[in-house]
Structure 1
């Protein structure tokens, strides 16, 4: 029988050649982002929706079933990021402008698994991965009775330390609530702390929640970097 042992790890280092700073991983990330941006631009929002239609139908069916079997109960997870050199007011000004803009590029560019972001007749639409599933959902409910949960959430932090808060329901086109989001920002001497909580139905596998906490780290880090770049 062939040897089934795991092959030894290989380490490759860059010794000379390319001009300028950066590792091989940095180069690969640059090219991956450039290729992804090209495909997004060429396909456009409707092209991506057409391409992913079957995936979205399957992903939304998964979320709908999780919501049905969870009887309105959710599990929460939180990612905490520390930004340096940028205030929460500066970041939220940029983010609010990006979400209100007709140009989706700054929002899409923040994560490889952002496919469509924008507004339609229902509200603010997001097409992205929830765990391994491609899903299409809406965000909203700010300031309505549907958001009463946020006022009593266990994850709510003191107003004195985290005065800037945003909360939202995540819901499907048929109105089924499939998740929640509570994001809270507090300024520090160096910048600000972002406390990012997401909620999914209790019957969702744990890895769905774990993956979205990683999703948060990527998209919010990139949005913060974009906000700082726009300011300067």
Structure 2
């Protein structure tokens, strides 16, 4: 936090210079096909709409502290002037950090279908800095019991190492569990 996002970018510039061409290559040779990393969480409080509103509001407000606090794998999560969210993180157990932009207004190239049983979602296309589509997210939510269920999906290029896709499930479970805790902290105890 003390370094700030520009300081973090500067520290990671060499690693990003190595990882970005690899990520772009994998996306190109995948020809738009995807592998899905899916994790489901059952939450015992709050509602699906309250959480999605909280999450999208944190994104809109560029609440970087709330976004970063969810995982030590997060280095930069900022919303730019166009509304796209820049993410620099370690995904899927990768040894290198990656950078991508999520546009929550663009669903055009998502391959995961919306599930009508999940009426709330935070979804968007993920792109490299040069605009190349590299995947996306479709996080879906529904009220269930005294709380809600989250079906969290990240779309990776199909040519990514399968182990990275399964390892990313832990990242999803961890970050969203922490965001859910933050969203409903005032309701605890």
- What is the TM-score of this pair, normalised by structure 2? 0.90
CA offsets per residue over residues 42-99 of structure 1, 9 Å max, x none?
2111110000111112221121010111111111121000001111122112112211
The question of whether the paired residues in 1 share the 8 Å contact of 2:121 and 2:138 is answered with: yes
Determine the structure 1 residue equivalent to 2:88. 127
SS state at 1:218 partner:
helix
Are 1:169 and 2:130 matched, yes or no? Answer: no
CA offsets per residue over residues 182-222 of structure 1, 9 Å max, x none?
11101012200000111111110012211221110000000
The question of whether the paired residues in 2 share the 8 Å contact of 1:76 and 1:197 is answered with: yes
CA–CA distance in structure 2, aligned partners of residues 156 and 177 of structure 1:
19
Are 1:187 and 2:143 matched, yes or no? Answer: yes
> How many aligned residue pairs are there?
185
Q: Determine which structure has the larger helix proportion and give its number.
A: 1
CA–CA distance in structure 2, aligned partners of residues 124 and 102 of structure 1:
8
Q: Output aligned runs, 1:112-151, within 5 Å.
A: 112-121=72-81, 123-131=84-92, 132=94, 133-140=96-103, 142=105, 144=106, 147=108, 149=110
Q: Output aligned runs, 1:147-162, within 5 Å.
A: 147=108, 149=110, 153=112, 155-157=113-115, 159=116, 161-162=117-118
**Unaligned stretches of 5+ residues in structure 2:** none
SS state at 2:3 partner:
helix
The question of whether the paired residues in 2 share the 8 Å contact of 1:88 and 1:192 is answered with: yes
Are 1:226 and 2:182 matched, yes or no? Answer: yes
- Answer with 1 or 2: which has the greater Rg: 1
CA offsets per residue over residues 75-128 of structure 1, 9 Å max, x none?
112100000111112211211221122431011000001001112356311111
1:110 to 70, 74, 84: 70
Give the number of the structure with larger relative contact order, counting CA–CA contacts within 8 Å between residues 6 or more apart.
Answer: 2
CA–CA distance in structure 2, aligned partners of residues 219 and 141 of structure 1:
18
Task: Name the CA shift for 1:89/1:211 in 2 (closer, same or farther; >3 Å).
Answer: same
CA–CA distance in structure 1, aligned partners of residues 22 and 126 of structure 2:
14
> Where has structure 1 moved over 4 Å in runs of 4 or more?
none
The question of whether the paired residues in 1 share the 8 Å contact of 2:104 and 2:124 is answered with: yes
How large is the RMSD of aligned CA atoms in angstroms? 1.8
Are 1:205 and 2:166 matched, yes or no? Answer: no
